[in-house]
């Protein structure tokens, strides 16, 4: 059981000191499952590799259990890493692959045997121990790679996109298995992925990164419902959050969000002091697809947040239908509706926004302001 602390960690590469991780700060609690998520190239792997000791830290400090590890060689950090490519030894049996690390460390044979069998049982690969890697499926091979990490009983697991090579169905299944395993073993884990669904479903907390900079560290619920900026709001969730450009106005002590085409009243609860300074100014409204409605009952409840659009096209997603609706010049929103409703292209559609769920963003900085 271990905690991890990143304290103002920076990474630069090459002579021109190109920064790829900028002022990274994070405390990971014992037994926590942390997911680092962000677009490709945002510095996730570099962060993980600095913790593992595979990459120098340009500036700042990393601690494992209050021990500074900056200058500790990788093998002394007691970390096990699992990568996207499982890198199994093709000529060794599964048993030997799992045992390999322990053999190197001259662990007694009987102990190795116990550890390998225990891991194989947990991962349900007991029946494959005599096989060679090529005789296993991708998912089974990834389990062997996990087995190799487990038998070392490390302080920390690091996983770098371990499921990226698997097909969609297996990926979903392995997600659950990794979480179960991690809870069962109680090993502090940092998991890297570019896949927001993986992050949302797996993390106790999620670290969203962009361009080397941590954007937000929070629970999945808060990342989804209270994103700190437009980047987080649009990176997480499928379909991505809708953004509507407009301005804020005030009329007889009520606040309105206005575009050229429509005007929506903000509920009393939204007349918050931090929105006051946007009155008469541009602001961006953010609303998720499930918080726009086409139901009469919602129109009746919120008559001052109803507006019109033109249906462009729909996507049937099984349990939901996503409709794309033009609500201004070059401005579309996507709305999640019940698939029993059908619309023709170019059909007029009435919409209502649940303004209690609306978020507001500064149009210049992208910061969420309410
Ligand atoms: P991610 O894992 O989020 O996709 P990486 O941490 O691998 O991103 O890379 C972050 C940035 O650092 C990228 O722009 C990448 O090109 C750069 N980078 C990674 N490794 C090196 C290296 N050895 N030398 C120079 N630049 C590198
Ligand atoms: Mg990477």
Above 80 in pLDDT, residue 25?
Answer: yes
Ligand 1, atom 14: nearest CA belongs to which residue?
41
If one residue of 40, 46, 47 were mutated to test the ligand 1 pocket, choosing by the most ligand atoms within 8 A of its CB, it would be: 46
CA of 100 to the centre of ligand 2 (A): 26
- In this structure, the residues whose C-beta lies within 6 A of any atom of ligand 1 are 13-14, 20, 38, 40-46
Judged by its nearest atom, the ligand closest to the C-alpha of residue 213 is: 1
Report, in angstroms and rounded to the nearest whole number, the Rg of the chain calculated over CA atoms.
25
Give Cα separations from 228 to 208, 216, 237, 367 (angstroms): 10, 7, 14, 6
CA 331 to chain centre: 27
Over range 261-273, report the average pLDDT: 79
Q: What are 292's two structure tokens?
A: 């726009």
CA of 46 to the centre of ligand 1 (A): 6
DSSP string for 27-65: EEPTT-EEEEE-STTSSHHHHHHHHHTSS--SEEEEEET
Which tens digits make up the pLDDT trace of 113-153? 999 999 898 888 999 999 999 999 888 898 899 899 889 88
Pairwise CA distance, residues 296 & 301, whole Å? 9
Ligand 1, atom nearest to 11 Cα = 12
Pairwise CA distance, residues 77 & 264, whole Å? 56
If one residue of 13, 48, 194, 213 were mutated to test the ligand 1 pocket, choosing by the most ligand atoms within 8 A of its CB, it would be: 13
Ligand 1, atom nearest to 192 Cα = 2
Judged by its nearest atom, the ligand closest to the C-alpha of residue 160 is: 2
Q: Which is it for strands 254-258 and 263-265: parallel, antiparallel or unpaired?
A: antiparallel
Ligand 1, atom 12: nearest CA belongs to which residue?
20
Instruction: Give me the pLDDT at residue 139, please.
Output: 85
Confidence band (pLDDT; 50, 70, 90) for 168? confident
Instruction: Give me the pLDDT at residue 290, please.
Output: 97
Closest CA to 86 of 12, 26, 161: 161
Percent of the residues in the chain that have a pLDDT greater than 90, as a whole number: 81
Average pLDDT of every residue of the chain: 93
Over range 365-370, report the average pLDDT: 95
Pairwise CA distance, residues 212 & 153, whole Å? 31
Above 90 in pLDDT, residue 167?
Answer: no
CA of 296 to the centre of ligand 2 (A): 47
Judged by its nearest atom, the ligand closest to the C-alpha of residue 20 is: 1
Q: What are 199's two structure tokens?
A: 């992050």
């Amino acid at each position: 059981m271990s905690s991890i602390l990143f304290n103002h960690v920076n990474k630069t590469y090459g002579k021109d000191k190109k920064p790829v991780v900028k002022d990274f700060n994070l405390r990971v609690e014992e037994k926590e499952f942390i997911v680092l998520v962000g677009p490709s190239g945002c510095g996730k792997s570099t962060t993980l590799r600095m913790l593992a000791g595979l990459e120098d830290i340009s500036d700042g400090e990393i601690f494992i259990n209050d021990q500074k590890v900056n200058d500790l060689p990788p093998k002394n950090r007691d970390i096990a890493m699992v990568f996207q490519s499982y890198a199994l030894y093709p000529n060794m049996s599964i048993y030997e692959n799992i045992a390999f690390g322990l053999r190197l460390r001259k662990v007694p044979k009987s102990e190795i045997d116990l550890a390998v069998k225990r891991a194989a049982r947990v991962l349900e690969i007991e029946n494959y121990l005599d096989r060679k890697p090529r005789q296993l499926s991708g998912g089974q091979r990834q389990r062997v790679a996990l087995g190799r990490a487990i038998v070392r009983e490390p302080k920390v697991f690091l996983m770098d996109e371990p499921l990226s090579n698997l097909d969609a169905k297996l990926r979903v299944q392995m997600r659950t298995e990794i979480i179960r395993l991690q809870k069962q073993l109680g090993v502090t884990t940092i998991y890297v992925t570019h896949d927001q669904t993986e992050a949302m479903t797996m993390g106790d907390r999620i670290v969203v990164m962009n361009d080397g900079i941590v954007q937000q560290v929070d629970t999945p619920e808060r990342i989804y419902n209270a994103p700190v900026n437009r980047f987080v709001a649009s990176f997480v969730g499928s379909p991505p959050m809708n953004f509507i450009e407009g301005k804020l106005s005030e009329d007889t002590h009520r606040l309105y969000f206005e575009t050229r085409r429509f005007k929506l009243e903000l509920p009393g609860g939204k007349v918050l002091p931090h929105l006051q300074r946007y009155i008469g100014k541009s602001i961006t409204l953010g609303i998720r697809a499930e918080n726009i409605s086409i139901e009469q009952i919602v129109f009746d409840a919120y008559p001052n947040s109803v507006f019109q659009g033109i249906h462009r096209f729909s996507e049937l997603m099984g349990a939901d239908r996503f409709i794309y609706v033009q609500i201004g010049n070059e401005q579309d929103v996507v709305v999640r509706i019940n698939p029993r409703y059908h619309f023709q292209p170019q059909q007029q559609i009435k919409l209502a926004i649940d303004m209690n769920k609306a978020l507001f963003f500064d149009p210049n900085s992208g910061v969420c302001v309410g």
